[in-house]
Each structure stands twice: as C-alpha cells, then as structure tokens.
Homo-oligomer: A and B are copies of this chain.
Amino acid sequence: MKVYRYPDRQDIARLTERPLHDATDLNATVAAVLKDVRERGDEAVTEYEERFDHARLKSLAVTEKEMDEAEAMVGEELRQAIAIAHANISKFHAAQLSEGVHVSVTEGVECWQKPVPIEKVGLYIPGGTAPLFSTVLMLAVPARIAGCSQIVLCTPPSPEGKVNPCILYAARVAGVDRIFKIGGVQAIGAMAYGTATVPKVYKIFGPGNQYVMCAKQHVSLHDVAIDMPAGPSEVEVLADETSNPSFVAADLLSQAEHGVDSQVMLVTTSESLAESVQVEIERQLASLPRKDIAARALENSKIILVKDEDGMMEITNAYAPEHLIIESAGYMRLAGRVVNAGSVFLGSLTPESAGDYASGTNHTLPTNGYAMAYSGVNIDSYMRKITFQHITPSGIRSIGKAVETMAEAEGLRAHRNAMTLRVQSLDEQ
C-alpha cells in the first residue's frame, strides 16, 4: 500500500479520485447483442449462451426438479446461516415499508402518497469465481417484502448447463418466482425486452462485469429502470491508535480479495497504527486463497495519514466510499459527521463482512462516488409513490384563483380554463 502523509486540500482531491473506467469501446458490442436479443428473442439468447458461457441449453428455465436437487446439495450449516441472514435482512427491510403521507394541505385540498410495488423486477446474479448467493438474498428479499408480483432471476450456467446450488437454494428461500440460465448482456436484454420464455420486467437489479453494467445502462435509456450505475467495490477504514491493527488489516483485505480493481483506503491519525497494519496485511495475505488478486488490488491501495478527525471526515466526505468502517475510538461522534457514504460500520466488532452477509443492511451499494447522489438498495428501490389529490368546493375557493393566475402567467389558457370552469360551476350554484 502506498502511504500519503498529511495531504493538503489539493492532494485530497487527487487522492479521492477514482481510476477512469471508460467503457465506450464496449458500446458497439453490447448494443449489437441487445438488438439481436430484442429481435430474435430466445433463439438469440440460446446462441449467446453457447458462445459466451459455452453452455448448450435445451431449456433456459431452471426446473423445479433442479431446484429440489440444489436444495439437497446445500449442507445444514449453510442452510442455518442463510436462514439467519434471511431473517435479519427481512427484519431491516420490512421496517422500511411506509404508508406514505396524507396531508390536508389547505381547506378542501387533500393530497397523499400511495406506495405501490413495482410489478415486475429482474435480478442479475453474476457467475464467475464466487457464487454470490448472498446477493440473491439482498435483491430478492426486499422485492418480496415490497410486494413485487413477479421476481425473475437470471444467472449464467456452467458449461454443463448447471447453476450453482447455493444460488438456487437462496433464490427459493427468498421467494424468487422464476430463474433462467442466462448470463451477461443477453440476460439484461432478455429481461429488458422480454422473450417468449423470459418475462419483460420494469426494473433490473444486480452487479456484473463491465459488459453487464454497460448493458444495464443501455437498456435504462428507454426500456427499464436500473438499480444504480456501478464501478469496482470499495472500502475506506478510519482508524486511530486505539484500533486493532489485525482487525483493520483483515477489513482491508476482505475488500482487496474482491478483484484486482478493488479500491482500498485506510485513513488514520496514527503513524504507529499505519505501520502495524502493513505488517499485519503481509502476514494475513500469505494464507489467503485469493492472495494474488488481493496483492494486486493492494498495489493501488492507499494509507493516508491525517492530523485529526477533521482530516478524516474531509477525506471521507470527498471520497464518498461504498463501505466506510470507523474503527477509531470516537466512532459514534464521527458517524454523525458522515455525509457521503453507502453503508457505515461502527466500532471494532462491526466488519464489512457482517453487512455483506447477515447484519440486515443491504450490500448493494453505490460505488465510484455515486453515494453523493444515490442510496444503496432499500425497500424504496422496489416501490413507486403515486400521488393522489382530491379537491372539494371549499378547496376550489382556496386555490382556484391562484391556479388561474399562474396558468395565465405561463401563457397556458387551457390550463386556466380547466380551473375557471370549476370556479364558475360553484358560483352558479
């Protein structure tokens, strides 16, 4: 890790910059696959599955029999773990359900919101080296709680045409309705446009590689909503001389093992902690199965020494990290000063991995500084709030004149007329 000592304000801007991931060169490829899926549906999807996932599929849909087989393959210990995670994620997200507000705005004018679930949602779960069944829970549990009537999941099959049993089991536990063996751009296209087999959805959630992200953004321009844009995963740790260097090192490594482009940052007021964390990282790294990935991610990682808590918070709020772990003594005080972050982990006993799996918060979070403007996935991500209004004769008397005046000033006479006719109808009575 590179160490930066007491940066000034200009340095902070540079240190909190993300590397630029320009996906422009993917655009043409992604657009071509999407167009093909839109036009040829299942036939195109099946061809791309053979080409990209090397799987010759007779059927895209996962069967009930495959679900049963998967369930039988999941051991008791993991079932219990998934049950705990499911319960906690459910509890935290169910508490987020709201009634919407009902307001008597003025005499005779009632306005209210009605939260309504998005009817059809699509979840994308990547394949690759780690079977992310935890992400199945994070995306499907709130969808079920929100009341979405159709929850579709796409995930790439192995060359043998199989899906990891943990993913299927988690999908069953979380209440996914239909699962398809489709990966990559063709999965996003199938859910965005619909095919004979795959239902069209209204919003697509979930992580993926550059191609998947590019495809999600492409379809979001016209056809469906998406959860949020995304970049490589990130953690920032705040620590001081009271922090446990072994814990801090483990937390940094748990981010570093995600991928070579993972962003890892330690901001500390303590020179001695900075040193001992580096020693601990070397020690812990040696025994990791994914040590090559983690070591490469660490090459671009940063330890930043700052003078005080103000320095910590200036960097944090400029960086807007996806995950922020505050392991210094004043963690509660610092928590109150967080303005830009995705999810925050407080104290020495709250590692990011707790939230990644089972504390109850969602692990689908804004990366790349998007925390400046986006929330992580939460129950609202699956709802719309429709507004309603009802006006009585006394309400017309309260606001009728204002509406007529403003409409006229905007040059919209028909808007005014619609109100004038109501006003006159009351005068005539």
Which A residues lie at the B interface, using CB under 8 A? 77-78, 80-82, 84-85, 87-88, 91-92, 95-96, 98, 101, 103, 105-106, 109, 111, 113-114, 116, 118-119, 129-134, 166, 202-203, 217, 220-222, 224-225, 229, 244, 246-247, 250-251, 253-254, 256-258, 284, 288-290, 294, 335, 338-362, 370-376, 378, 380, 383-393, 395-396, 398-399, 401-403, 405-407, 409-419, 421-422, 425
Do the beta carbons of A390 and B85 come within 8 Å of each other?
A: no
A349-B202 Cα distance, complex, nearest whole Å: 33
Residues in B with CB closer than 8 Å to A351 are: 418-419, 422
Q: Separation in Å of the A277 CB from the closest CB of chain B?
A: 13
Q: Separation in Å of the A366 CB from the closest CB of chain B?
A: 8
Can you spell out 29 A-B residue pairs with CB atoms less than 8 angstroms apart?
A: A81-B402, A92-B105, A111-B360, A111-B361, A116-B338, A116-B339, A118-B373, A119-B339, A131-B409, A134-B410, A221-B229, A224-B373, A251-B418, A253-B414, A254-B417, A254-B418, A288-B417, A290-B412, A290-B413, A346-B388, A346-B390, A349-B391, A349-B392, A349-B393, A349-B396, A358-B399, A358-B406, A361-B389, A378-B385
Closest 9 CB pairs of A and B: A225-B373, A81-B402, A81-B405, A351-B418, A105-B360, A250-B418, A84-B402, A353-B415, A253-B414
A338-B385 Cα distance, complex, nearest whole Å: 12
Q: Separation in Å of the A421 CB from the closest CB of chain B?
A: 5
Nearest chain B residue, comparing its CB with the CB of A324: B386
Do the beta carbons of A92 and B78 come within 8 Å of each other?
A: no
Do the beta carbons of A344 and B402 come within 8 Å of each other?
A: no
Residues in B with CB closer than 8 Å to A254 are: 412, 414-415, 417-418
Residues in B with CB closer than 8 Å to A374 are: 225, 384
A324-B14 Cα distance, complex, nearest whole Å: 49
Do the beta carbons of A113 and B410 come within 8 Å of each other?
A: no
Do the beta carbons of B91 and A105 come within 8 Å of each other?
A: yes
Do the beta carbons of A288 and B346 come within 8 Å of each other?
A: no
Identify 6 new A-B residue pairs, CB closer than 8 A, beyond the known A257-B412, A290-B412: A80-B402, A202-B372, A343-B389, A354-B419, A356-B415, A380-B385
Residues in B with CB closer than 8 Å to A373 are: 118, 202-203, 224-225, 384
User: Which among A134, A343, A401, A405 has the highest number of chain B CB atoms within 10 Å?
Assistant: A405
A133-B101 Cα distance, complex, nearest whole Å: 26
Residues in B with CB closer than 8 Å to A362 are: 387
Nearest chain B residue, comparing its CB with the CB of A421: B250
Q: Separation in Å of the A271 CB from the closest CB of chain B?
A: 23
A421-B281 Cα distance, complex, nearest whole Å: 13
Do the beta carbons of B103 and A414 come within 8 Å of each other?
A: no
Residues in B with CB closer than 8 Å to A119 are: 339-340, 372
